[in-house]
Amino acid sequence: MTKISVNAVYDGYPVRGFIHVPDSNPSSADLIVLFHGTISSPNVTPLTAAEKFFNIALDQFGLNFGSRLIYSVAYPQDAIPGWTPEAASALYPGLDLSTFYLGDNLPYVQAALGWAQAQLTDYLATNGVTIARNKIYAFGHSQGALLAHRLNRLYTLDGFVSNAPGPIDLLDRCSVSESQGDDNLSCAKLKTAFGATTVNPSVYENVSLKNYLNNLQSPILYTQARDDSNPVQVSNMINIVQPGIEACTTCAPATFKYYSTGGHDAFVINKETQYDIRTFLGFLPVSQPSFPALLPTARNFQLGEYPVKTYRAMSGAVVRRSFGNRAFSYTLDLEYQNVFEFTVSNILAHYNNQGGSALGFTVPPEVFSGYSGTLQGKVRTPFGIEWLYAEPPSVSSVIAGISSVTVKLIGEMR
């Protein structure tokens, strides 16, 4: 892996971070510019945060961006625990941390993106790497996602990705901080310099994403897990950001994707999130392991339930109401007895590729061999249903090289 540190200046601002060059040494490649999230832990600097995002992007079992040029930007932040003014000015000459507030880093990421567009390939050439840049994308997380969103109002790229952007409503966030007395460093710093949210609300509003929901110049993908650790993040995305951008008449196309699990960092662990991001960034579909096309030793199928609710009156009478006309939660249990290790490996590889129960799939017809075509159609691919793993496959050793595997699947509505 070729990893090159960035130490440059553009439009008068210091530009820092790390560049990844594909191992295959292609003559050209797309560029993905990364903006890390808020730094909230002591002893973490913008450089170490950029390096962490750099490594996440290269994870072969995750985002797997290794075939692209990557520039992970190290940009300054207003309130990093333990980050001293001396350390800040050493990394970013001219930066006065005592008067540097949330949102003041926008010019720094502007400079980083401008440098990436205008000078990155020349910078690589001075480091012995000759490669042409094709398309260019930007991908931000959390505070970095807010900055990516705002950069989309200033630059036209091939696309932006914004995962769990924020703060969406800093005025509300800092009002809560004031009333509850929590330790939000950015809010406290703004309050000390400009007054409380009730005294000077415009200072807080000017940093909020909700005030920048127009003039988006490039296609953008917003990703958000519904179990985000921020209690208002999801509701703000659904009730403020999405309707605001969808009503925008001066915006490029925007796509909103929501996921059941993954937390604030869903792009790190949620396979469905990673798939959507990779697809948006132009990665060609990769040939993925399929569920083995083998007739099981034993097979148990159960039809799905319909959404029916039961009410019981005081008299004891029962009334049932239907709330839909599509069944859900089909089950399919499969037993593969006395199979070779390569079959076990194929099943386990398929389970891992689906992210456990994250991604749905189609069961091959060989699994239902023996059913008539009509019956197999109803059982194998019920209308509007996709199969997911209900639990991890269970493997029992029989003898050396021979095992038995139990697979439990559940069919849910798409």
Contacts of residue 9, defined as CB under 8 A and 6 or more positions apart, other chains included, come to 15
Distances in Å between the alpha carbon of 20 and those of 4, 68, 227, 384? 7, 8, 32, 42
200 lies in some domain: no
Dist. CA 189–CA 76, nearest whole Å: 15
Q: Answer yes or no: do 263 and 355 share one domain.
A: no
Taking only the tens place, the pLDDT of each residue in 397-414 is 999 889 999 999 998 876
User: Of 280, 308, 327, which residue sits at a domain end?
Assistant: 280
Whether residues 304 and 408 share a domain: the answer is: yes
DSSP assignment string, 165-180? ---S-HHHHHHHHHHH
What is the domain count for the chain?
2
Between helix 106-118 and helix 143-151 the angle, nearest 10°, is 60
Mean pLDDT, rounded, for 87-108: 97
Amino acid, res. 154 = L
Task: Say if residue 288's pLDDT is above 90.
Answer: no
Do 265 and 370 belong to one domain?
no
What's the pLDDT band for 176 if we cut at 50, 70, 90? very high
Residue 296 has pLDDT above 90, yes or no: yes
Does 224 lie in the same domain as 136?
Answer: yes
- Predicted confidence at residue 374, as pLDDT, reads 72
Give me the chain's average pLDDT, please. 92
266 within domain boundaries: yes
155: CB partners within 8 A, 6+ apart: 113, 114, 117, 138, 217, 218
159 in any annotated domain: yes
Q: How many residues does the chain have?
A: 414
Per-residue pLDDT for 378 more than 80? Answer: no
CA distance 330 to 155: 48
383 band by pLDDT with thresholds 50, 70 and 90: low
pLDDT confidence band for 356 (50 / 70 / 90): confident
Predicted confidence at residue 360, as pLDDT, reads 86
**Domain shared by 118 and 266, yes or no:** yes
Assess whether pLDDT exceeds 90 at residue 355. Answer: no
Over residues 235-249, mean pLDDT: 96
Domain assignment of residue 29, yes or no: yes
Token readout for 114 is: 């401008």
Domain limit, last residue, from 280, 311, 337? 280
Res. 363: pLDDT tops 80: yes
239 & 375 share domain:
no
Is pLDDT above 90 for 367? no
Same domain, yes or no, for 233 and 93?
yes
Residue 36: closest CA among 62, 59, 60, 55? 55
Same domain, 84 and 133: yes
Q: How far apart are the first and last CA of the chain?
A: 39
Residue 309 binned pLDDT confidence (cut-offs 50, 70, 90) = confident
Is the predicted pLDDT of residue 28 greater than 90, yes or no? yes
Predicted local distance difference test score (pLDDT) of residue 287: 57
Average the pLDDT over 37-43 and give the result.
Answer: 93
**331 and 276 share one domain:** no
Q: Which domain holds residue 349?
A: 298-413
Question: For residue 174, what pLDDT band results from cuts at 50, 70 and 90?
Answer: very high
User: Does 385 score more than 80 pLDDT?
Assistant: no
Query: Which DSSP helix (H) or strand (E) runs through 58?
Result: helix 46-58
Same domain for 228 and 303, yes or no, is no
Quote the percentage of the chain above a pLDDT of 90: 71
Closest listed residue to residue 137, CA positions, set 106, 162, 119:
162
Domain annotation covers residue 44: yes
CATH at 156: 3.40.50.1820
Do 272 and 238 have their domain in common? yes
Give the pLDDT band of residue 243 (cuts 50, 70, 90). Answer: very high
Does 197 reside within a domain?
no
Is residue 187 domain-resident? no
Tell me, yes or no, whether 136 and 268 share the same domain.
Answer: yes
Least confidently predicted of 96-100, 121-125, 196-200, 267-271: 267-271
Kindly write down the DSSP assignment for every residue of 58-86, as one continuous string.
H-TTTT--TTSEEEEE----S--TT--HH
Q: Is residue 199 part of a domain?
A: no
Domain boundary among 245, 280, 315: 280
How far does Cα 309 stand from its chain's mean position? Answer: 36
- At position 258, the amino acid (one-letter code) is Y
Least confident piece of the model among 54-58, 61-65, 226-230, 358-362: 358-362
